[in-house]
Amino acid sequence: MSIRSQKKFNPEDDLGFGSQPVIKSQPLIKQDGSINVKRRGLSFFHTEDNYHTLITMSWTKFWLLVLTCYAILNIVFAFIYMTIGVNHLNGSEGTTPYQQFWDAFFFSAQTISTVGYGHISPSGMATNSVAALESLMGLLAFALATGLLYGRFSKPSAKIVYSKNLLIAPYLETCQGLMFRLANMRRNILIDLEIEIIFSYNEDVNGKPVRRFFQLEVERRKVSILTLNWTVVHPLDENSPLKDMTPDDLKNTQATFAILLRAFDDTFAQTVHSRTSYQFENMVWGAKFKPAFDRDDDGRIVLDLSRISEFTNVELPSPKPPLNLPQ
Amino acid sequence: MSIRSQKKFNPEDDLGFGSQPVIKSQPLIKQDGSINVKRRGLSFFHTEDNYHTLITMSWTKFWLLVLTCYAILNIVFAFIYMTIGVNHLNGSEGTTPYQQFWDAFFFSAQTISTVGYGHISPSGMATNSVAALESLMGLLAFALATGLLYGRFSKPSAKIVYSKNLLIAPYLETCQGLMFRLANMRRNILIDLEIEIIFSYNEDVNGKPVRRFFQLEVERRKVSILTLNWTVVHPLDENSPLKDMTPDDLKNTQATFAILLRAFDDTFAQTVHSRTSYQFENMVWGAKFKPAFDRDDDGRIVLDLSRISEFTNVELPSPKPPLNLPQ
Amino acid sequence: MSIRSQKKFNPEDDLGFGSQPVIKSQPLIKQDGSINVKRRGLSFFHTEDNYHTLITMSWTKFWLLVLTCYAILNIVFAFIYMTIGVNHLNGSEGTTPYQQFWDAFFFSAQTISTVGYGHISPSGMATNSVAALESLMGLLAFALATGLLYGRFSKPSAKIVYSKNLLIAPYLETCQGLMFRLANMRRNILIDLEIEIIFSYNEDVNGKPVRRFFQLEVERRKVSILTLNWTVVHPLDENSPLKDMTPDDLKNTQATFAILLRAFDDTFAQTVHSRTSYQFENMVWGAKFKPAFDRDDDGRIVLDLSRISEFTNVELPSPKPPLNLPQ
Amino acid sequence: MSIRSQKKFNPEDDLGFGSQPVIKSQPLIKQDGSINVKRRGLSFFHTEDNYHTLITMSWTKFWLLVLTCYAILNIVFAFIYMTIGVNHLNGSEGTTPYQQFWDAFFFSAQTISTVGYGHISPSGMATNSVAALESLMGLLAFALATGLLYGRFSKPSAKIVYSKNLLIAPYLETCQGLMFRLANMRRNILIDLEIEIIFSYNEDVNGKPVRRFFQLEVERRKVSILTLNWTVVHPLDENSPLKDMTPDDLKNTQATFAILLRAFDDTFAQTVHSRTSYQFENMVWGAKFKPAFDRDDDGRIVLDLSRISEFTNVELPSPKPPLNLPQ
C-alpha cells in the first residue's frame, strides 16, 4: 500500500481523533452519529451532566421518572405527617394506620400540587410548617419540570437521512467520484449546510498499526438551502488520498468515512449537527443514485424520502478498476 | 439563447436545489419565502416535528387546540370519576347521571387547574389516586403550555418588506443594474445583513430541459446595520450570466430570482432569515426607485414603509435594449 | 474641502445608512446607541412587536401593566358572575350590589390565581363553566408571564462605558491617532470583541448636500478578551479619509462618528452589541488618556470605571495643525 | 534578554490586556479561568447583573435565598394581615397574638403558594385585596423562579480538564514544541474547537517594566470534534517569540501562558468557552505525554481522564539547552 505524504497528513491528534488503530467493529463514530469512546474518571455527580441526562433521555423514561419522584415525595411527606400526628390533619377520618397513611399521602399530593381542596387541612405549628415547605417544594419542582420540558422540546436537533451506501460513481466526463446522498427528515428548513468527510485507516508504521486521518475534499462544501436532497461528491482525482488505494486496501486497513454535517435550523435559529459513518461494506463500485423526486399533477416537486438510498448499477468510465491495484 | 459556461455553473444540486426544470406556476421558493416542495416518507409521529407544528401554527389554531384539549381531558376524567362512583365525590349533589356528569366534569376542571375550591372533594383510594394523578397531569400540561408560549413568542422572525418589482435601472454612468429594495417591518434592529440572489432558469440540454442555478454578484453583499431601506444591486456587466439574455429568454426559460437574506436581530441575539422570489412578470425595464423617506419638522428622518415599492420610469443609459437580442 | 475618492466610497445606501444629509441635532445613531429614524406604515398589531415591546419596556411599566391586566380581568369576570347571578356563588353573603360585586371580584381573583380557598364556590352550569374557563385563562396568563419574565432577564445586553471624548492623540513616534476608550460596566466577561467606526459627513454635490459614509480603519479591529479597558485607535495616516480635513471642515459638514461594537457574552453564550456616536463637539485635539487602573496592596489590578474618560493635554508630535488646512 | 521585534508585537492594549507589568502571584487570568481584575465604579443595582448573580451563584446559596425570601415574604404579609385584623381571617382560632401571628403566617403561605386549603379564608375588602395581591405576587415569584431555574440549568458551560504541566517535548524529528493536553470532562460532545495561547512577560523599557503580549502560533488551531484528548503544540521554531529565551528569562519576566478555548456544544447548540493559564513553575523541560487511553476487551477505546497529566521524561533532540542562553 502506498500513500503519498501530503500536507493534510497530521501525525497525531488530527481532527480530534487519536492515532490509535481501529478494530473493524469499533469505529470512533458510529453509524447513528454517536461517539464510540468510553470515558473513565468522570465525576459521578455533576449538575450540568444531570441536566444533560434529563434533557436527552427518552420520553418514556422521563415520564416514568417524573411519576416515580411524585410518588416517592408523597410517601416521604406522608410519613412525616404521620410522625407529627394525623390528628393535626383536620378532616382526616382514617382510624387504622393504613387509612391514616393514605389520608396523609393524599393530603401531601394535594399540597405538593397546590390543589388544596381543603377537606383535609393542616393544624398546629409542625404540620403547618411542613405543609408550607411542601407547597414551596412543589412549586419549585414544577418550575423545574417546566424548564426541563422546554429544554427537551427546544433542544436543537437535526434528523438527516443518509443514503445507506457510499457509491463510486461516474463523475464529469472522465472521472469517478465517491458519492453519498442526504435529505432532511423533518419539517424545519435547513440553511447554510456545510459538510466534512474524514477518511481514516490504519497505516503500518514499523510493524505497528497507526491510525491516519484525512479530510477529503468535496466538490461543494456548502449549500445555501436544502430544499430537495443533496448529493455530496468527493472527486477521485490526483489530489485524493484514495487515488492509489484498492478495494482490498480499504478493507484491510479498516477504512472508515466519518461524515460531519453542520446546518442552521431556520425555525429555531440554532446551529444543528448531524454525524454518520460509512465502512468498507457500505461501499458500492459502479453505481449512481436514482432521482428521489417526482412531480405531482400540479407540476409540484414531491421528494420521496424512502427512495434516498436507491441506485442503479452503471459502468465506470475508466477501463481500469475503480481504484488501482497495488503496483 | 447563449449562456457562457463559467465556474459558478454547477451541473447538479447546486445551492441545494435540484436540476429538475421548473414549471411557471411552481417555483421552488414562493414569494412568501416558503419552499414549494412536498415530501413523502416523513414519519407520522415525530416529537420535534410536533413541537415545530405547535410553535409555528397560527394563534387562533393554537388557542382552539388548548381549549379542545382542556375540554377533552375533563370529559375523560369525568367519565373515570363516574365509573369509580360519584358517591366518592363528597359535596356532589347531582342525582341524575346528567347532573353527576357535570359535577364530575367541574371537579375535574378544578383539579386539573389546581384551583381546588374543595366544595367537592375526593374520598376513597381510587378517586383520590385519580385526582392526585390528574393534578400532576395538569401541572405538567401547563408546564408544557408555558414552554410552548415562550417558544412561540421568542422564536426568531424577521419581517422584511421587499419591493414588489425587480427593476432594470441605470447604474453608475454607463451601466445598468438589476435592483430591488427592502426594509425592516418590525421594531427590532437588524445588524450584519447579508444578501444572496440565486438566478435560475431552464436550459435545453439535448432537447430535455434542465434547471440551472447561478448566484448573482451584488454590488454590496453585506451591510452593518439597517437603519433605512437597502437597495440591492446586481450590476448587469460582462460578468453577469444575464448579460446576453433577452426579456423573451427570461420569460421562456421560466427565470426565477430567489432572494435569501440573513441578518442578526439585536434585541434577541438571534440570526434571522427571510426569503422571497421574483418571477419574470415582476420585472420592470427602465425604472428607478423613488426615495421612501422624508424629514419631519425637526429634521428627523421618517421612513414610509408603504412607499418601498414606488418607482418612476427612466430611460436606460444604453441605446440597445436592456438585454441583448440573441445574435 | 477635498476628499479623495477611494474604493470604500459607496455612492448610496452604504452601510445601511441612506445618503440624506444630516442636520446637526439629528445624527442617525444617537449617543445612547438608539437609531434616530421614525417609521411610518408599521402595522398597528403585530405579535412579535408586542412581544418586543413587553420585553424591552421598563420594569415599572411592566409591573403596572401586569397589575392593571389582573384588575381589569377580575372586574370583567366579576360582572360576568353578577350577570349569571351571585346566588350561584355559594358562600357569598353580599346583599347589596356593591357587596355582591366585591364577592364576585374576589372569587374571580381566587379562581384566576388558582388559589381557590373554597369559602366561595361556584354552583350551576353557567358559573361553573365560567370558573373553569377563568382558571384555564389564569394558568395560561401566568404561563405567559413566566415566559416574559424569563425573556426580560435573559435578553442579551451589553453595558459598555465609552469615554466622553474622542481624542486626537500622539500615536507611535511621528503620527497622530483618533482615539476613544471603552470598558465593560457589567460583571459578565466579554470575548471576541470587534469594533467598527463609521465616519459620515455632508458633501456638497452640485450645491446639494449628500451624506457620505466611510468605514475608518482601526489599528486593532478585534481583541480576544476584554479584561481591562480598550483604547480604539484610528491612525490619521495617508489612508485616512480624515487626513485632509480641518476642524472647521468637521464642524461644517456635520461630521459624525458612529461606533458599532460586537462581542460575545461568555456567561450567556450570546452575541451582544453596543453602539454610540461622537459629534464634532466631543472631539479634543492634543490629549491622551490617563490610565484608568491602579494596583491594590496585593498587586492586583483595580480598574476604576469612573476614570474611563480622564485625559491629559499633550502636544501633538507634528508642527502642523492636527488636520491640514484646505489647500 | 533579547526579543526581536515582530509584527505581532503590539505596544498597548494588545488582546484586551493592558501593558501593566504583572507581579508573580497576580496573573491576569487565573488557573481556574477567572479574570484577576477588580473593578470599581460598578453601579450597585443593575438588573442584568442581579440576574447574572442569581444564575451563577452556587446551588446551596440559591436554595437558601429562595427559602429566606419565602420566609420573609410570609412574615411581612402575616404582619399586614394582623394589622388589618385577624378577625378577618375566617377559621383562624388563635387567641394570643403569638397564635394569631402563626395563623396569619400560614394563611399567607397557603395564599402565596396558591394552595388555598380554605380552612382559613379572607373576609372583608382589605384582607381580600391583600390576599388577591399576594397570590398574584406568588405566581409571579414562581414565574421568576421557573425562569431562574431554567437559566441556571441551560447556561452554557464547558468543563475542560487541562494537563497540570506545560511540557517542552520533542517535536517532529529535530525540533521542540511547547505542549499541553486537554480533554472534555462532561458528557456533551464538543465540536469545532479553537485554541489560542497568549504568552506574556515583563519587558524592561528604559528601566520601567512593561507587559508584552504575543499570540503563539499553534501547529493546529482548530479541530472538528473532540473525541479523545487534544495535545496542543506550539513549535519552538524560528518564528516563536520564545526562541531565544532561557528558563531564567521566563522566570524573571513573570512569563504567563493564557489559554483560551472556544468550542461548540452539540447538545445545547451553544458556543462555550474555557480558559486557563500556566506559569513558569508549571513548565517541564524534556518530557512527553503518555497516552491517556486504553482498549477494553471489545477493542473499544477507554479514555481515562485522571491520566491526562501523565508524562514521561525524555531527552530533547538538540544538544543545546531547550532555550538558548543569552548571547
**pLDDT tens, position by position, D158-204:** 788 899 999 998 887 778 899 999 988 887 788 889 999 988 888 87
pLDDT of residue D17: 60
The DSSP string of D220-287 is: -SEEEE-SSEEEEEEE-STT-TTTT--HHHHHHTT-EEEEEEEEEETTTTEEEEEEEEEEGGGEEESE
Tens-place pLDDT, residues A171-201: 877 788 999 999 988 877 888 899 999 888 8
Q: Do D227 and A37 touch (CB under 8 A)?
A: yes
User: Hey, of B113, B121, B146, B270, which one would you mutate to test binding to chain D, going by the most D CBs within 10 A of its CB?
Assistant: B146
Q: Give me the mean pLDDT over the B113-131 stretch.
A: 91
Q: Do A301 and B16 touch (CB under 8 A)?
A: no
pLDDT surpassing 60 at residue B140:
yes
Q: Give me the mean pLDDT over the B109-137 stretch.
A: 92
Q: Do A48 and D301 touch (CB under 8 A)?
A: no
**Minimal CA separation from B137 to chain D, in Å:** 16
Q: Do A37 and D228 touch (CB under 8 A)?
A: yes
CA distance C187 to C157: 12
pLDDT of residue D180: 94
pTM of the model: 0.80
pLDDT of residue C130: 95
Which has more confidence, C229 or D34?
C229
Q: Do C230 and D13 touch (CB under 8 A)?
A: yes
Which has more confidence, A187 or D151?
D151
pLDDT surpassing 60 at residue B9:
no
**Minimal CA separation from A49 to chain D, in Å:** 6
**Minimal CA separation from C274 to chain D, in Å:** 15
Q: What is the mean pLDDT of chain B?
A: 82
B contacts of D116 (beta carbons < 8 Å)? 116
pLDDT of residue D105: 95
**Which other chains touch chain C, taking contact as 3+ CB pairs less than 8 Å apart?**
A, B, D
Nearest residue, CB atoms, A116 vs list B43, B90, B116? B116
**Minimal CA separation from A102 to chain B, in Å:** 8
Residue D320: pLDDT band (50, 70, 90) is very low
Cα of C185 vs its chain's centroid, Å = 14
pLDDT of residue C133: 94
D contacts of B114 (beta carbons < 8 Å)? 114
Segment among A1-15, D86-100, D174-188 with least mean pLDDT: A1-15
Is CATH 2.60.40.1400 the classification given to domain D14-36+157-313? Answer: yes
Tell me if B274 sits within 8 A of B261, measured CB to CB: yes
B contacts of A306 (beta carbons < 8 Å)? 40-41
C contacts of D23 (beta carbons < 8 Å)? 295, 299
The amino acid that residue D87 corresponds to is N
Which has more confidence, D256 or B297?
D256
B contacts of C260 (beta carbons < 8 Å)? 191, 224-225
pLDDT surpassing 70 at residue D18:
no
Q: pLDDT > 70: what percent of chain D?
A: 85
pLDDT surpassing 90 at residue B23:
no
**Minimal CA separation from C181 to chain B, in Å:** 21
Chains A, B: CB contacts under 8 A, how many?
A: 197
pLDDT of residue A11: 38
The DSSP string of C135-165 is: HHHHHHHHHHHHHHHHHHHHS----EEE-S-
pLDDT of residue A110: 93
Q: Do C154 and D151 touch (CB under 8 A)?
A: yes
pLDDT surpassing 50 at residue A7:
no
pLDDT surpassing 70 at residue C197:
yes
Q: Where are the domains of chain D?
A: 14-36+157-313, 47-154
CA distance D215 to A30: 37
CA distance C315 to A82: 85
pLDDT of residue C171: 83
Closest by CA to B268, choosing from A269, C156, C300, A131, is C156
Chains C, D: CB contacts under 8 A, how many?
A: 195
Nearest residue, CB atoms, C267 vs list D38, D52, D128? D52
Q: Give me the mean pLDDT over the A50-79 stretch.
A: 91
Segment among A230-239, A313-322, B231-240 with least mean pLDDT: A313-322
Which has more confidence, D21 or D264?
D264
State the cell numbers at A218. Answer: 468535496
pLDDT of residue A209: 76
User: What CATH number labels A57-154?
Assistant: 1.10.287.70
CA distance A116 to D14: 62
Nearest residue, CB atoms, B136 vs list A113, A231, A298? A113
pLDDT surpassing 90 at residue B223:
no
Residue B72: in which H helix or E strand, if any? helix B59-84
Start-end of H helices in chain D: 47-56, 59-84, 97-112, 125-154, 247-252
C contacts of B163 (beta carbons < 8 Å)? none
Tens-place pLDDT, residues A245-285: 888 888 888 888 989 898 888 777 788 888 888 988 899 98
User: What CATH number labels C14-35+157-313?
Assistant: 2.60.40.1400
Nearest residue, CB atoms, B118 vs list D114, D118, D146? D118
pLDDT surpassing 70 at residue A14:
no
Q: Give me the mean pLDDT over the D135-150 stretch.
A: 88
Q: pLDDT > 90: what percent of chain C?
A: 28
Residue B61: pLDDT band (50, 70, 90) is very high
pLDDT surpassing 70 at residue C36:
yes
Q: Do C118 and A117 touch (CB under 8 A)?
A: yes
A contacts of D291 (beta carbons < 8 Å)? 18, 20
Q: Is the dihedral of CA D86, D87, D92, D95 positive or negative?
A: positive
Nearest residue, CB atoms, D16 vs list C193, C266, C268? C193
Q: Give me the mean pLDDT over the B143-159 stretch.
A: 82
Segment among A76-80, B322-326, D28-32 with least mean pLDDT: B322-326
Tell me if D28 sits within 8 A of D212, measured CB to CB: no
Which has more confidence, A2 or B162?
B162
Which has more confidence, C100 or A319?
C100
User: What CATH number labels C47-154?
Assistant: 1.10.287.70
State the cell numbers at B234. Answer: 446586481
Q: Give me the mean pLDDT over the B12-19 stretch.
A: 52
pLDDT of residue C44: 56
Residue C136: pLDDT band (50, 70, 90) is very high
B contacts of C40 (beta carbons < 8 Å)? 302-306
pLDDT surpassing 50 at residue A324:
no
CA distance A210 to A21: 5
Tens-place pLDDT, residues B269-314: 788 888 888 988 899 989 989 888 887 777 777 888 888 899 999 9
Q: What is the mean pLDDT of chain A?
A: 82
Tens-place pLDDT, residues B42-58: 665 555 677 888 888 88
CA distance D242 to C291: 29
CA distance B224 to B189: 11
pLDDT of residue A19: 62
Tell me if C184 sits within 8 A of C1, measured CB to CB: no
Question: CA separation (Å) from B117 to A30, A129, C138?
Answer: 55, 22, 15
Q: Give me the mean pLDDT over the A54-83 stretch.
A: 93
Q: Give me the mean pLDDT over the D248-252 stretch.
A: 87
Nearest CA in chain D to A10: D220
Which residue numbers of B have CB closer than 8 Å to D's CBs? 114, 116-118, 146
**Minimal CA separation from A146 to chain C, in Å:** 10
The DSSP string of B29-57 is: B-TTS-B-EEEE---S--HHHHHHHHHHS
D contacts of C225 (beta carbons < 8 Å)? 15-17, 35, 260
Residue A12: pLDDT band (50, 70, 90) is very low
What letter does residue A290 receive in the DSSP assignment? P
State the cell numbers at C23. Answer: 442636520
Half-sphere exposure of A258 toward its Cβ, with a 13 Å CA cutoff? 25
pLDDT of residue B46: 59
Q: Give me the mean pLDDT over the C259-267 stretch.
A: 86
User: Hey, of D9, D139, D266, which one would you mutate to test binding to chain C, going by the most C CBs within 10 A of its CB?
Assistant: D139
pLDDT of residue A164: 93
C contacts of A146 (beta carbons < 8 Å)? 146
Q: Do C155 and B268 touch (CB under 8 A)?
A: yes
Residue A107: pLDDT band (50, 70, 90) is very high
> Among the ranges A288-302, B93-107, B261-275, C283-297, which has the highest mean pLDDT value?
B93-107
pLDDT of residue B299: 72
Nearest CA in chain B to C130: B106
pLDDT surpassing 70 at residue C327:
no
Nearest residue, CB atoms, C118 vs list A114, A118, A146? A118
User: Hey, of C136, C150, C202, which one would you mutate to test binding to chain B, going by the most B CBs within 10 A of its CB?
Assistant: C136
Residue A166: pLDDT band (50, 70, 90) is very high
Q: pLDDT > 90: what percent of chain D?
A: 28
A contacts of B43 (beta carbons < 8 Å)? 185
Residue B1: pLDDT band (50, 70, 90) is very low
User: Hey, of D55, D64, D113, D310, which one would you mutate to test binding to chain A, going by the most A CBs within 10 A of its CB?
Assistant: D113
pLDDT surpassing 70 at residue A244:
yes
Q: Give me the mean pLDDT over the D119-136 stretch.
A: 92
State the cell numbers at B84. Answer: 369509580
Q: Give me the mean pLDDT over the B171-189 stretch.
A: 84
pLDDT of residue B12: 41
Cα of A8 vs its chain's centroid, Å = 28
Same fold, A14-35+157-313 and A57-154: no
